[in-house]
């Protein structure tokens, strides 16, 4: 399920929303390699709580596409590259995009309310944890017919949460809020009857 062996052209064709999100994140990161541009990106896009409080609400969105360094974006884009396609295949482009963005946004909103006014954060980790949360909902719905998914996702989720609280400079609030948001969307949307209906609709359109 999560073994990605498609050619790049096939990957983009099969999973256009995942590919789009990876490209946007990479473009922002590459632009930020120019020091003067990176300063502007951080000044106008990072989720700085005191600036959000002053009315710069767009930061809860833009911060989802900004990363703190190479390892930061490598980790998040690896997770998106590996786990995003299956979720996009199941949910469809629009639902997948909604899960991803709302998990990232709500993660930043939670950070605003939980962390102090001086707190600044960037990154897609909340959105990535939202994907993981959505898979946990799928684990629940498929626990009897597809136990292999539970054996893979549940330990991964537990380890990811533990690591969240062990690593320094990690926005644990965004991670947990993103996880819960993705799970909520998953429980609402991923009932097996809905998935069967979506597949029938796609077959009619194809």
Q: Do residues 131 and 100 make contact, with C-beta atoms less than 8 angstroms apart? A: yes
Of 9, 103, 175, 206, catalytic: 175
Residue holding tokens 């989802």? 64
Closest CA to 142 of 5, 3, 1: 1
CA–CA–CA angle 177, 43, 26 (5° rounding): 65
Instruction: Point out the catalytic residue in the list 36, 67, 125, 160.
Output: 125
3-state secondary structure of 176: helix
Q: Is 9 an annotated catalytic residue?
A: no
Q: Give the DSSP letter string of 33-90.
A: TSHHHHHHHHHHHSEEHHHHHTT-TTHHHHGGG--SSHHHHHHHHHHHHHHHHHHHHH
- Closest of 145, 115, 126, 121 to residue 183, by C-alpha: 126
- Has 125 been annotated as catalytic? yes
Query: Who's near 142: CB < 8 A, 6+ residues apart?
Result: 149, 150, 192
CB-based burial label for 158 (10 Å; 0-12, 13-18, 19+): exposed
Among all chains, which residue has been given the structure tokens 């300063």? 39
Which residues are tagged catalytic? 125, 175
């Amino acid at each position: 399920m999560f073994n990605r062996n498609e050619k790049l052209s096939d990957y983009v064709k099969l999973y256009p929303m995942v590919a789009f999100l990876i490209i946007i994140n990479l473009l922002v990161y590459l632009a930020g390699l120019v020091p003067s541009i990176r300063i502007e990106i951080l000044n106008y896009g990072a989720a700085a709580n005191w600036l959000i409080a002053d009315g710069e609400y767009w930061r809860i969105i833009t911060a989802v596409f900004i990363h703190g360094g190479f390892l930061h974006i490598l980790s998040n884009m690896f997770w998106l590259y590996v786990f995003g396609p299956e979720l996009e295949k199941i949910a469809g482009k629009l639902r997948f995009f909604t899960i991803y963005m709302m998990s990232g946004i709500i993660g930043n909103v939670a950070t605003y309310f939980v962390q102090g006014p001086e707190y600044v954060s960037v990154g897609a980790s909340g959105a990535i944890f939202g994907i993981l949360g959505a898979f946990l909902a799928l684990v629940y719905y498929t626990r009897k017919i597809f136990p292999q998914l539970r054996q893979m996702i549940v330990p991964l989720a537990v380890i990811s949460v533990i690591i969240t609280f062990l690593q320094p400079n990690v926005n644990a609030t965004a991670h947990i809020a993103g996880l819960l948001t993705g799970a909520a969307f998953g429980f609402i949307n991923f009932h097996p009857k809905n998935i069967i209906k979506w597949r029938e609709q796609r077959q009619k359109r194809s």
